[in-house]
Structure 1
Protein backbone atom coordinates (compact mmCIF):
# COMPACT_ATOMS: atom_id res chain seq x y z
CA UNK A 1 0.00 0.00 0.00
CA UNK A 2 1.63 3.23 -1.18
CA UNK A 3 0.13 5.92 1.01
CA UNK A 4 1.02 9.57 0.46
CA UNK A 5 1.68 11.60 3.55
CA UNK A 6 1.22 15.34 3.75
CA UNK A 7 3.00 17.86 5.92
CA UNK A 8 1.03 19.21 8.88
CA UNK A 9 -1.13 22.22 8.05
CA UNK A 10 -0.20 25.70 9.24
CA UNK A 11 -2.96 25.89 11.88
CA UNK A 12 -1.66 22.72 13.52
CA UNK A 13 1.92 24.01 13.44
CA UNK A 14 0.82 27.33 14.94
CA UNK A 15 -1.05 25.52 17.74
CA UNK A 16 2.08 23.43 18.42
CA UNK A 17 4.19 26.59 18.55
CA UNK A 18 1.71 28.05 21.03
CA UNK A 19 2.31 25.10 23.36
CA UNK A 20 -0.55 22.70 22.59
CA UNK A 21 0.99 19.31 23.37
CA UNK A 22 -1.53 17.32 21.30
CA UNK A 23 -0.83 19.51 18.26
CA UNK A 24 2.91 19.21 18.82
CA UNK A 25 2.68 15.43 18.97
CA UNK A 26 0.60 15.40 15.78
CA UNK A 27 3.09 17.69 14.00
CA UNK A 28 5.97 15.36 14.92
CA UNK A 29 4.04 12.24 13.86
CA UNK A 30 2.93 13.76 10.53
CA UNK A 31 6.45 15.03 9.81
CA UNK A 32 8.10 11.69 10.55
CA UNK A 33 7.68 10.03 7.09
CA UNK A 34 9.06 13.09 5.32
CA UNK A 35 11.99 13.41 7.71
CA UNK A 36 12.85 9.73 7.25
CA UNK A 37 12.69 10.10 3.46
CA UNK A 38 15.01 13.14 3.62
CA UNK A 39 17.43 11.22 5.83
CA UNK A 40 17.48 8.15 3.59
CA UNK A 41 18.24 10.32 0.57
CA UNK A 42 20.98 12.36 2.29
CA UNK A 43 22.78 10.03 4.68
CA UNK A 44 25.38 7.45 3.81
CA UNK A 45 23.74 4.47 5.45
CA UNK A 46 20.35 3.43 6.77
CA UNK A 47 21.73 3.58 10.33
CA UNK A 48 22.96 7.15 9.84
CA UNK A 49 19.60 8.02 8.28
CA UNK A 50 17.74 6.63 11.28
CA UNK A 51 19.98 8.55 13.69
CA UNK A 52 19.58 11.78 11.70
CA UNK A 53 15.81 11.38 11.46
CA UNK A 54 15.48 10.76 15.19
CA UNK A 55 17.67 13.74 16.03
CA UNK A 56 15.72 15.97 13.63
CA UNK A 57 12.40 14.93 15.18
CA UNK A 58 13.76 15.62 18.67
CA UNK A 59 14.86 19.09 17.51
CA UNK A 60 11.42 19.63 15.99
CA UNK A 61 9.78 18.68 19.28
CA UNK A 62 12.05 20.85 21.40
CA UNK A 63 12.45 23.88 19.16
CA UNK A 64 9.27 24.25 17.12
CA UNK A 65 8.84 27.65 18.73
CA UNK A 66 11.94 28.90 16.87
CA UNK A 67 10.37 28.16 13.47
CA UNK A 68 9.74 31.62 12.01
CA UNK A 69 7.18 30.80 9.33
CA UNK A 70 4.73 27.95 9.73
CA UNK A 71 4.94 27.29 5.98
CA UNK A 72 8.69 26.71 6.20
CA UNK A 73 8.53 23.46 8.19
CA UNK A 74 9.66 21.26 5.29
CA UNK A 75 12.72 23.36 4.43
CA UNK A 76 13.62 23.70 8.12
CA UNK A 77 13.46 19.94 8.63
CA UNK A 78 15.46 19.33 5.45
CA UNK A 79 18.25 21.61 6.74
CA UNK A 80 18.26 19.88 10.13
CA UNK A 81 18.47 16.41 8.53
CA UNK A 82 21.20 17.58 6.12
CA UNK A 83 23.22 19.00 9.01
CA UNK A 84 22.85 15.79 11.01
CA UNK A 85 24.02 13.69 8.04
CA UNK A 86 27.01 16.01 7.56
CA UNK A 87 27.81 15.79 11.26
CA UNK A 88 27.87 11.98 11.00
CA UNK A 89 30.22 12.15 8.01
CA UNK A 90 32.51 14.60 9.81
CA UNK A 91 32.67 12.31 12.82
CA UNK A 92 33.59 9.34 10.64
CA UNK A 93 36.18 11.33 8.70
CA UNK A 94 37.77 12.80 11.82
CA UNK A 95 38.00 9.35 13.41
CA UNK A 96 39.70 8.05 10.29
CA UNK A 97 42.15 10.99 10.15
CA UNK A 98 43.33 10.68 13.74
CA UNK A 99 46.52 8.64 13.86
CA UNK A 100 46.79 6.04 16.61
CA UNK A 101 48.40 7.47 19.72
CA UNK A 102 52.00 6.46 20.27
CA UNK A 103 52.70 5.56 23.89
CA UNK A 104 56.21 7.03 23.95
CA UNK A 105 55.19 10.36 22.39
CA UNK A 106 52.71 12.07 24.74
CA UNK A 107 52.99 15.42 22.93
CA UNK A 108 49.74 17.10 21.94
CA UNK A 109 49.21 18.56 18.48
CA UNK A 110 49.64 22.30 18.24
CA UNK A 111 46.60 24.56 17.93
CA UNK A 112 47.61 25.22 14.32
CA UNK A 113 47.67 21.49 13.53
CA UNK A 114 44.25 21.04 15.13
CA UNK A 115 42.78 23.89 13.06
CA UNK A 116 44.32 22.55 9.84
CA UNK A 117 43.01 19.05 10.56
CA UNK A 118 39.56 20.50 11.25
CA UNK A 119 39.61 22.47 8.00
CA UNK A 120 40.66 19.36 6.11
CA UNK A 121 37.84 17.33 7.64
CA UNK A 122 35.38 20.13 6.86
CA UNK A 123 36.53 20.24 3.22
CA UNK A 124 36.27 16.47 2.88
CA UNK A 125 32.84 16.34 4.53
CA UNK A 126 31.54 19.07 2.20
CA UNK A 127 32.94 17.30 -0.87
CA UNK A 128 31.47 13.95 0.22
CA UNK A 129 28.06 15.49 0.89
CA UNK A 130 28.09 17.02 -2.61
CA UNK A 131 28.40 13.58 -4.24
CA UNK A 132 25.29 12.06 -5.80
CA UNK A 133 23.48 9.85 -3.29
CA UNK A 134 24.37 6.53 -4.97
CA UNK A 135 28.08 7.43 -5.10
CA UNK A 136 28.08 8.85 -1.55
CA UNK A 137 26.56 5.65 -0.13
CA UNK A 138 29.13 3.38 -1.78
CA UNK A 139 32.06 5.63 -0.86
CA UNK A 140 31.10 5.95 2.79
CA UNK A 141 30.27 2.28 3.25
CA UNK A 142 33.44 1.09 1.53
CA UNK A 143 36.06 3.74 2.38
CA UNK A 144 34.83 5.28 5.63
CA UNK A 145 33.08 2.37 7.31
CA UNK A 146 35.58 -0.11 5.82
CA UNK A 147 32.98 -2.66 4.77
CA UNK A 148 34.06 -5.35 2.29
CA UNK A 149 33.06 -4.73 -1.34
CA UNK A 150 30.69 -7.70 -1.50
CA UNK A 151 28.94 -6.57 1.68
CA UNK A 152 28.45 -3.08 0.23
CA UNK A 153 27.19 -4.50 -3.07
CA UNK A 154 24.70 -6.80 -1.28
CA UNK A 155 23.50 -4.05 1.07
CA UNK A 156 22.77 -1.75 -1.86
CA UNK A 157 21.38 -4.47 -4.14
CA UNK A 158 24.19 -4.11 -6.70
CA UNK A 159 26.42 -6.49 -8.56
CA UNK A 160 30.09 -6.41 -7.56
CA UNK A 161 30.92 -4.75 -10.89
CA UNK A 162 28.27 -2.04 -10.43
CA UNK A 163 29.47 -1.35 -6.88
CA UNK A 164 33.09 -1.06 -8.09
CA UNK A 165 32.04 1.26 -10.91
CA UNK A 166 30.13 3.55 -8.53
CA UNK A 167 33.00 3.53 -6.07
CA UNK A 168 35.45 4.47 -8.83
CA UNK A 169 33.19 7.34 -9.99
CA UNK A 170 32.76 8.53 -6.40
CA UNK A 171 36.50 8.50 -5.71
CA UNK A 172 37.25 10.29 -8.99
CA UNK A 173 34.61 12.95 -8.37
CA UNK A 174 35.81 13.42 -4.78
CA UNK A 175 39.44 13.67 -5.88
CA UNK A 176 38.58 16.32 -8.51
CA UNK A 177 36.48 18.26 -6.01
CA UNK A 178 39.21 18.25 -3.35
CA UNK A 179 41.87 19.18 -5.90
CA UNK A 180 39.73 22.08 -7.13
CA UNK A 181 39.13 23.41 -3.60
CA UNK A 182 42.81 23.02 -2.70
CA UNK A 183 43.86 24.85 -5.86
CA UNK A 184 41.31 27.59 -5.19
CA UNK A 185 42.65 27.93 -1.65
CA UNK A 186 46.24 28.29 -2.82
CA UNK A 187 45.38 30.98 -5.36
CA UNK A 188 43.09 32.84 -2.95
CA UNK A 189 40.15 32.31 -5.29
CA UNK A 190 36.78 32.01 -3.64
CA UNK A 191 34.77 29.00 -4.79
CA UNK A 192 31.03 28.65 -4.16
Structure 2
Protein backbone atom coordinates (compact mmCIF):
# COMPACT_ATOMS: atom_id res chain seq x y z
CA UNK A 1 0.00 0.00 0.00
CA UNK A 2 1.49 3.33 -0.96
CA UNK A 3 1.54 6.46 1.14
CA UNK A 4 -0.69 8.10 -1.46
CA UNK A 5 -3.52 5.74 -0.44
CA UNK A 6 -3.14 6.86 3.16
CA UNK A 7 -3.21 10.60 2.60
CA UNK A 8 -3.13 13.17 -0.15
CA UNK A 9 0.06 14.91 -1.15
CA UNK A 10 -1.46 18.19 0.02
CA UNK A 11 -2.21 16.75 3.46
CA UNK A 12 1.34 15.43 3.87
CA UNK A 13 2.82 18.71 2.62
CA UNK A 14 0.69 20.74 5.03
CA UNK A 15 1.61 18.42 7.91
CA UNK A 16 5.30 18.75 7.00
CA UNK A 17 4.87 22.53 7.10
CA UNK A 18 3.47 22.32 10.64
CA UNK A 19 -0.26 22.79 9.97
CA UNK A 20 -1.77 21.28 13.15
CA UNK A 21 -5.09 20.15 11.65
CA UNK A 22 -3.31 18.47 8.74
CA UNK A 23 -0.92 16.74 11.08
CA UNK A 24 -3.83 15.49 13.20
CA UNK A 25 -5.63 14.22 10.09
CA UNK A 26 -2.46 12.53 8.81
CA UNK A 27 -1.94 10.68 12.08
CA UNK A 28 -5.62 9.67 12.16
CA UNK A 29 -5.51 8.41 8.54
CA UNK A 30 -2.29 6.51 9.15
CA UNK A 31 -3.29 4.86 12.43
CA UNK A 32 -5.43 1.97 11.06
CA UNK A 33 -2.72 0.93 8.59
CA UNK A 34 0.03 1.09 11.19
CA UNK A 35 -2.05 -0.80 13.74
CA UNK A 36 -2.96 -3.54 11.26
CA UNK A 37 0.70 -4.00 10.34
CA UNK A 38 1.77 -4.01 14.01
CA UNK A 39 -0.73 -6.77 14.76
CA UNK A 40 0.88 -8.95 12.07
CA UNK A 41 4.40 -8.46 13.47
CA UNK A 42 4.17 -8.14 17.22
CA UNK A 43 3.84 -11.03 19.63
CA UNK A 44 0.82 -9.76 21.52
CA UNK A 45 -2.01 -7.29 20.96
CA UNK A 46 -0.55 -5.08 23.70
CA UNK A 47 2.86 -5.01 21.99
CA UNK A 48 1.11 -4.18 18.70
CA UNK A 49 -0.75 -1.28 20.32
CA UNK A 50 2.47 0.00 21.90
CA UNK A 51 4.48 -0.32 18.68
CA UNK A 52 1.77 1.44 16.68
CA UNK A 53 1.54 4.22 19.25
CA UNK A 54 5.31 4.70 19.20
CA UNK A 55 5.31 4.79 15.39
CA UNK A 56 2.57 7.42 15.37
CA UNK A 57 4.47 9.51 17.91
CA UNK A 58 7.54 9.37 15.68
CA UNK A 59 5.38 10.41 12.70
CA UNK A 60 4.03 13.32 14.75
CA UNK A 61 7.50 14.45 15.84
CA UNK A 62 9.41 13.85 12.61
CA UNK A 63 6.92 14.38 9.77
CA UNK A 64 8.98 17.38 8.73
CA UNK A 65 11.83 15.05 7.71
CA UNK A 66 9.64 13.03 5.34
CA UNK A 67 10.99 13.46 1.82
CA UNK A 68 7.93 12.48 -0.20
CA UNK A 69 4.43 11.13 0.14
CA UNK A 70 5.48 7.83 -1.46
CA UNK A 71 7.96 7.29 1.38
CA UNK A 72 5.24 7.57 4.05
CA UNK A 73 4.10 3.94 4.14
CA UNK A 74 7.57 2.38 3.87
CA UNK A 75 8.85 4.76 6.55
CA UNK A 76 5.99 3.91 8.91
CA UNK A 77 6.29 0.16 8.28
CA UNK A 78 10.02 0.29 9.01
CA UNK A 79 9.35 2.10 12.30
CA UNK A 80 6.67 -0.43 13.30
CA UNK A 81 8.92 -3.36 12.36
CA UNK A 82 11.75 -1.99 14.45
CA UNK A 83 9.45 -1.38 17.41
CA UNK A 84 8.07 -4.94 17.23
CA UNK A 85 11.59 -6.39 17.00
CA UNK A 86 12.66 -4.28 19.96
CA UNK A 87 9.81 -5.72 21.99
CA UNK A 88 10.84 -9.28 21.07
CA UNK A 89 14.28 -8.94 22.65
CA UNK A 90 14.51 -10.63 26.03
CA UNK A 91 14.21 -8.32 29.02
CA UNK A 92 17.58 -7.34 30.44
CA UNK A 93 19.48 -8.44 27.31
CA UNK A 94 21.34 -5.14 27.24
CA UNK A 95 21.85 -4.98 31.01
CA UNK A 96 24.77 -7.24 31.89
CA UNK A 97 26.07 -5.07 34.73
CA UNK A 98 25.54 -7.72 37.40
CA UNK A 99 27.74 -10.34 35.71
CA UNK A 100 30.96 -8.87 37.06
CA UNK A 101 33.00 -9.26 33.85
CA UNK A 102 33.29 -6.66 31.16
CA UNK A 103 32.29 -7.71 27.70
CA UNK A 104 34.75 -7.02 24.91
CA UNK A 105 33.55 -4.85 22.01
CA UNK A 106 33.77 -7.89 19.73
CA UNK A 107 31.61 -9.98 22.09
CA UNK A 108 29.08 -7.17 22.30
CA UNK A 109 28.83 -6.95 18.50
CA UNK A 110 28.45 -10.73 18.19
CA UNK A 111 25.78 -10.78 20.92
CA UNK A 112 23.90 -7.97 19.18
CA UNK A 113 24.08 -9.71 15.79
CA UNK A 114 22.83 -12.98 17.31
CA UNK A 115 19.94 -11.16 18.99
CA UNK A 116 18.97 -9.62 15.65
CA UNK A 117 19.13 -13.05 13.94
CA UNK A 118 16.86 -14.57 16.58
CA UNK A 119 14.45 -11.61 16.45
CA UNK A 120 14.22 -11.89 12.64
CA UNK A 121 13.62 -15.66 12.85
CA UNK A 122 10.83 -15.12 15.38
CA UNK A 123 9.31 -12.28 13.36
CA UNK A 124 9.20 -14.54 10.27
CA UNK A 125 7.05 -17.16 12.02
CA UNK A 126 3.36 -17.52 11.18
CA UNK A 127 1.20 -15.34 13.44
CA UNK A 128 -0.01 -18.02 15.89
CA UNK A 129 3.41 -19.63 16.21
CA UNK A 130 5.07 -16.27 16.83
CA UNK A 131 2.56 -15.29 19.50
CA UNK A 132 2.77 -18.66 21.26
CA UNK A 133 6.58 -18.66 21.21
CA UNK A 134 6.94 -15.11 22.48
CA UNK A 135 4.30 -15.43 25.18
CA UNK A 136 5.61 -18.78 26.41
CA UNK A 137 9.39 -18.69 25.88
CA UNK A 138 10.25 -14.99 25.85
CA UNK A 139 7.73 -13.55 28.28
CA UNK A 140 7.51 -16.72 30.39
CA UNK A 141 3.74 -17.08 30.69
CA UNK A 142 2.45 -20.52 31.77
CA UNK A 143 1.17 -22.78 29.00
CA UNK A 144 -2.46 -22.65 30.16
CA UNK A 145 -2.39 -18.83 30.27
CA UNK A 146 -0.92 -18.67 26.75
CA UNK A 147 -3.51 -21.12 25.42
CA UNK A 148 -6.37 -19.23 27.07
CA UNK A 149 -5.19 -15.81 25.89
CA UNK A 150 -4.96 -17.04 22.28
CA UNK A 151 -8.18 -19.07 22.37
CA UNK A 152 -6.37 -22.39 21.84
CA UNK A 153 -6.61 -25.71 23.60
CA UNK A 154 -3.55 -26.61 25.66
CA UNK A 155 -2.68 -29.36 23.16
CA UNK A 156 -2.97 -26.95 20.20
CA UNK A 157 -0.79 -24.39 22.02
CA UNK A 158 1.87 -27.04 22.69
CA UNK A 159 1.77 -28.13 19.06
CA UNK A 160 2.16 -24.54 17.82
CA UNK A 161 5.00 -23.98 20.31
CA UNK A 162 6.82 -27.08 19.06
CA UNK A 163 6.41 -25.96 15.43
CA UNK A 164 7.60 -22.45 16.30
CA UNK A 165 10.71 -23.74 18.07
CA UNK A 166 11.46 -26.08 15.17
CA UNK A 167 11.05 -23.27 12.63
CA UNK A 168 13.28 -20.90 14.59
CA UNK A 169 15.98 -23.57 14.94
CA UNK A 170 15.81 -24.25 11.20
CA UNK A 171 16.01 -20.54 10.38
CA UNK A 172 19.03 -20.12 12.65
CA UNK A 173 20.85 -23.05 11.04
CA UNK A 174 20.81 -21.27 7.65
TM-score, structure 1 normalization: 0.80
Asked if the contact 1:149–1:160 (Cα under 8 Å) also holds between the matched residues in 2, the reply is yes
Question: Match of 2:81?
Answer: 82
Q: 1:52 to 1:155 in 2, by over 3 A?
A: same
Q: Does 1:133 align with 2:122?
A: no
How many Å apart are 1:68 and its aligned residue?
1.9
Whole-Å separation in 2 of the counterparts to 1:41 and 1:86: 12
Stretches of structure 1 lacking an aligned partner (at least 5 in a row): 1-5, 181-192
- Structure 1 residue ranges (4+ consecutive) displaced by more than 3 angstroms after TM superposition: 96-102
Paired residues, number: 170
Aligned match of 2:114 in 106, 116, 120?
120
Aligned-residue Cα RMSD (Å) equals 2.0
How many Å apart are 1:107 and its aligned residue?
2.8
Question: Match of 2:171?
Answer: 177
Kindly indicate whether structure 1 or structure 2 has the higher relative contact order, using CA contacts under 8 Å at least 6 residues apart: 2
Question: Match of 1:22?
Answer: 21
How many Å apart are 1:131 and its aligned residue?
1.4
Greater shift after overlay, 64-73 or 36-45?
A: 64-73
TM-score, structure 2 normalization: 0.88
Whole-Å separation in 2 of the counterparts to 1:125 and 1:52: 15
How many Å apart are 1:99 and its aligned residue?
7.2
